[in-house]
Amino acid sequence: MATAALNRYTPEEYLALERHAEFKSEYIDGRIIAMTGAQRPHILIVHNLDRELGTRLLDSPCEVYPAEMKVKIDASGRYVYPDLCVACEPRFEDGTVDVLLTPVLIIEVLSDSTESYDRGEKFFHYRQIESLREYVLLSQKKCLVERYVRAGDFWHLSTVDELDGSLTLTSLGIEIPLQRIYAKALPANASDPDAET
């Protein structure tokens, strides 16, 4: 998440700067917030998910976007970078096709610096995206997946914390074994739900 907040900018100024920046930044309430780097477990989990989703959705109309795709939250005017998202009827803000408007699935891998934001404020804003059907949070410290599924105005939570379990994505009609999601990413005792966090 954030490491520095600069002066206030318009969305147009942010996009003009961001499209030529060396490092990613999000746009929140008129401020440009620099993103921090990810650690090895985080990178491996995102890579594993990108591969598994891409393979399963290859012959579908859905497209998988890793962390380089910006998502605009129209209701709040925010531009954010989910760790991974999927769109099945992708629509973009303009002809540059680097700002997605219609994700059906958003996935965030939790870290110490982003966990409360991803669970709280960021999820609050994500819920305002009309196309969004599922929101998934993954721990990078142990096997723990939290999946929120939209049902009208409500979001129903289910969790899986066993490596022999699976992540079921109803919005896409697919299931991914957690062993494949967490491959090479967890320390030896991380599959134990009682392990220290």
pLDDT in tens, 93-142: 988 899 999 999 999 999 888 898 999 999 999 999 999 999 999 999 99
Please state, for a pLDDT cut of 90, what percent of the chain lies above it: 83
> What values do phi and psi take at 84, rounded to 5?
-160, 145
Fold type of domain 38-181 = tt1808, chain A (3.90.1570)
In angstroms, the CA 123 to CA 157 distance is: 13
Reading the block at residue 101, the tokens are 């408007």
Q: What is the pLDDT of residue 192?
A: 52
2 pLDDT higher than 50: no
Average pLDDT over residues 79-88: 97
**Which whole number is the average pLDDT over 142-148?**
97
Q: Are 31 and 80 in contact (CB under 8 A)?
A: no
Whether the CB-CB separation of 142 and 192 falls below 8 Å is answered with yes
Interval 82-99 mean pLDDT = 94
Burial of 167 (0-12, 13-18, 19+ CB in 10 A): buried
